[in-house]
Structure 1
Amino acid sequence: MIWFGTTALVGAGLRLSGPFGSADWRERLALTGPDVIPGGIWLHAASVGELTSARVLAEALAAEFPLTVTTNSLTGRALARKLGYDAALAPLDVPQAVGRFLHRIEPSVLVTVENELWPNRARMADDLGVAQVVVGARMSQRSAERWGKLPRLIRPILRRIDALSAQDPGSEERLLRLGLPASALGSRLNLKLLGPAQIHPAQDGAMRPRTVLAASTHEGEDEVVLDAFAKARAAVPGLRLILAPRHPERGDAVAALLTARGLDFARRSQGGGPEAPILLADTLGEMGDWYQAAGICITCGSYADHGGHTPWEPAAWRCAILHGPNVSNHAADYADLDAADAAEAAPDLAAALSALAQDAPRQRRMGKAARDMLLTRAGDPAPLIARILDLARGGLV
């Protein structure tokens, strides 16, 4: 969590940073900004990652009220505009800039994503009767200890929050201890999982149990996958492979590996489809099709030293997940999925593929268990959305 100590300090820093003639600085000072319909919702997200995680929420709110999005970064602002929202850089947390921005857009509700708590913004929004909501809030033990030394700063911010959805029980407990009213605490949401949780896979096709997806391979992993697949296909005739490099520009190099092994394959960039015995999926924007086609997904980045890619996208599509040992990026998630037999660590990938490809019922059980865990962890955004819309309509309760 971040905050500015004094208005004077911020002003001095700004004066040292150069002239304010640029459009971006003028926007940070709220001297310019979007012309919007008053009474809408102000959604603030720090940057691209936070805004992306809040897309489900933003779309639902924008369907009912004018939505103005602010971010702290130029890339975040660019994404917001690409998504079709009125967007600006967030006002600096000094009274003049915050006041100008609030009077410019006259929001009914301020929705803050994750950890962006600012004292002037909170106080001045409250003075104008603007309801305040925090979604996906996180509060680590270390941050809580730091905030605990500043009770006169954090308690007024938290007391002004009308509704808050935390990501985990520890954050809830620490926020309550720091001063969040118990009445403001809503059900938990993991914003980063809401997008995958909105995916609704179709019924399984006839070939799905015999189709394997190697999702987002890195250099050095294609060989591992191809060697394991060749051994598994010898035991399971008719086994198919969709090989999807993390970076499609590696397509020629991966094609060369396939050719060198004498494997019959098609390239998606040349019109091939999943009916091919081996499909080199060297395109962008079609991963959903490959997840739908494959009953087994090898999550890559885990057989090379890349920490493993997220398991939640294949979980959304009810894939049975196999992974390598390098899953540090999502270690707790993989551990929980493995324990629930929703995923399997497969140091001997050929043996794991062969066994799973011959056990369609287990594939289905694993896929269902993975999706069920995803839905539980994502949470249901409907009550929070209803609460924000109620606040926007003036329905404080």
Structure 2
Amino acid sequence: MLLYRLLAQIAFRLYALRLQIAVAMGRLAHESFDERLGRGPKRDGAAPLVWIHGASNGELASARPVIDTLIARAPGLSILVTANTETGRDLARSWQQTRLHADLAPLDYPGAVRRFLDRWRPAALVVIENELWPERLAACAARGIPVLVIGARMSARSYRNWTRLRSLTARILGAIRYLSAQDSGSEGRFRDLGLVSARFGPVVNLKSATTARNTSESLPFPRETTLLAASTHEGEEAAVLDAFARARLKIPGLRLILAPRHPRRRDAIEALIRASGLAFATRSRGARPDPDTTVYLADTMGEMDLWYRAAGMTFVGGSLVDRGGHTPFEPAAHGSAILHGPHISNSAPAYTALAEAKAAIDVASAAELAAGIVALADGEAGARLAAAATAALAPLAAGAALDPFYTALGEATGLPALAS
């Protein structure tokens, strides 16, 4: 731990300097800089508060059903959500829950973590997936703040790295009171590293807990011929636009909702759409689509339910470029037929289930994506594929597997209502 602290002090002080420069150049808000250093006003009141941390918007979106359940079960409970990115923090703020606060997570060195814990005084820390920061967990353990991890993910590569740091690993695992792994492979690696059996809960893939939420708004597009490109990354929008243009040569009535993973890329994506010659409107500029809008750039946070509801077929982003692919559970929950690229390691069990059931279309190029769009624009074909995906993913649903987590959190915080 001493060596980690020495190296972390150097690394994070250099990173803090970079943040200062970003603030000076107007690329980062001063509020965000302060949050990363653990600064800010102390919260009012002594009501219990649970701190939930995920890396960015993907992890937090998967945790939202858990957050909603905690708020519903314990009326006196407040939730603090943190992320490492402004997009993740802003996503949590867009949910507009009255008992939910959102900040950037503190950098993992003693001063920042100490200030953060002094400000918020959490009753427990819930970690989503693989955000096991040593200083943070050690500080929580020192203050008697229980740490619970849900959907924990550990790759073979991460496991090899942790085995080289046995002392630090033992310190981190010793701070964890409860852990549910995302898959059996991750669970086995945590066991091999020394986490005691009594602290394990059932395997839980949080992304499988996704539910479709009703929205008051709707789009003036025919659903069966509308494609959603969900959470796309740099390098994918051009391929999607190419595929969409090809498909429109055969089905002129097609519509595209383009929802990039990072809305800050709006200007670059607008330039790509202009170059394609397709008529478009941009959500963040206040533009509303009409029946003649061909492409709708959905560059806002917290509105994915609206986009899924409007689209009968979804291309899952992060899969044509090597980003591991985003979750297929969201489009499946909304009854939207699934297309995806070859890079799907982040949700490998789910995509394996889809492949075995022939419940999704796997594409590797713009040409293949165009062919898939044309095939699914037949409403019956899209509906059949969507139904097959729902059936294929049902056995992976979190369901009652989260109940032991709620019980453990209730015991840790003295809020037995969480277990009901």
Give 1:42 deviation, angstroms: 1.5
* Mapped pair 1:148 → 2:163: yes
Deviation at 1:351, TM superposition (A): 9.9
Identity of aligned residues (%): 32
Q: CA deviation at 1:201?
A: 8.8
Q: Deviations over 1:264-302 (max 9, x none)?
A: xxxx95643xxxxx97463648875675577x6363879
Q: What's the TM-score once normalised by structure 2's chain length?
A: 0.67
Equivalent of 2:132 in 114, 117, 124: 117
Q: Does 1:224 align with 2:246?
A: yes
Structure 2, unaligned stretches of length 5 or more? Answer: 21-29, 216-221, 230-236, 260-268, 281-286
Amino acid at match of 1:343: A
The DSSP-based 3-state class of the residue aligned with 1:221 is: helix
Kept in 2: contact 1:4–1:10 (CA 8 A): no
Alpha-carbon distance, 1:51 to partner = 2.7
**C-alpha distance in 2 between matches for 1:291 and 1:46:** 23
2:389 is paired with a residue whose SS is: helix
- Which residue does 1:60 correspond to in 2? 69
TM-score (norm 1): 0.70
C-alpha distance in structure 2 between counterparts of 1:75 and 1:348, whole Å: 28
SS of residue matched to 1:254: coil
Q: Alpha carbons of 1:120 and 1:289: their partners in 2 closer, same or farther (altered >3 Å)?
A: closer
In structure 1, how many angstroms separate the alpha carbons of the residues matched to 2:294 and 2:335? 22
Contact 2:71 2:78 in 1 (8 A): yes
Q: Distance in 2 between matches of 1:184 and 1:280?
A: 52
CA distance in 1, matches of 2:319, 2:130: 34
Match of 1:339 in 2: 356
1:182 CA displacement: 1.4
Q: Retained in 2: the 8 A contact 1:60–1:385?
A: no
Aligned AA (1:220): D
The change in CA–CA distance for 1:24 and 1:344 in structure 2 (over 3 A counts) is: closer
Verify the 8 A CA contact 1:109 1:391 in the aligned structure 2.
yes
Answer whether contact 1:71 1:88 (CA < 8 A) is retained. yes
SS in 1 for 2:390: helix
1:71 aligns with 2:83: yes
Residue 299 of structure 1: aligned partner: 315
Q: Which moved more, 1:14-23 or 1:210-219?
A: 14-23
2:391 to 372, 384, 388: 372
Query: Which residue does the alignment assign to 1:46?
Result: 55
Letter of the 2:58 counterpart: G
Taking only aligned residues, the RMSD between alpha carbons, in angstroms, comes to 4.6
CA distance in 1, matches of 2:136, 2:317: 41
Cα separation, partners in 2 of 1:161 and 1:14, compared to 1, 3 Å: closer
Cα-to-partner distance string for 1:231-287 (whole Å, 9 max, x where unaligned): xxxxxxxxxx5421427954893359xxxxxxxxxxx95643xxxxx9746364887
Tell me by how many angstroms 1:335 deviates.
Answer: 5.2
> What residue in structure 2 maps to residue 238 of structure 1?
none
Match of 2:3, SS state, is coil
What letter matches 1:372 in structure 2? A
8 Å contact from structure 1 (residues 41, 109) kept in 2: yes
AA at the equivalent of 2:170: R
Q: Larger Cα Rg: Structure 1 or Structure 2? A: 1
* Aligned residues of 2:319 and 2:326 also touching (Cα < 8 A): no
SS at match of 2:51: strand
Q: State the shift of 1:32 in Å.
A: 3.5
Amino acid at match of 2:59: E
1:138 correspondence with 2:159:
no
Partners of 2:335 and 2:123 in 1: how far apart?
A: 40
Alpha carbons of 1:36 and 1:136: their partners in 2 closer, same or farther (altered >3 Å)? farther
C-alpha spacing 1:141/1:36, structure 2 compared with 1 (3 Å): farther
Do structure 1's residue 170 and structure 2's residue 185 form an aligned pair? yes
Between 1:170-179 and 1:326-335, the stretch displaced more is: 326-335
Whether contact under 8 Å (1:45, 1:72) holds in the other structure is yes
Gapped regions of structure 1 (runs ≥ 5): 203-208, 231-240, 257-267, 273-277
Distance in 2 of aligned mates of 1:132 and 1:224: 51
Aligned length: 357
Q: Contact 1:91/1:98 (CA < 8 Å) preserved in 2?
A: yes
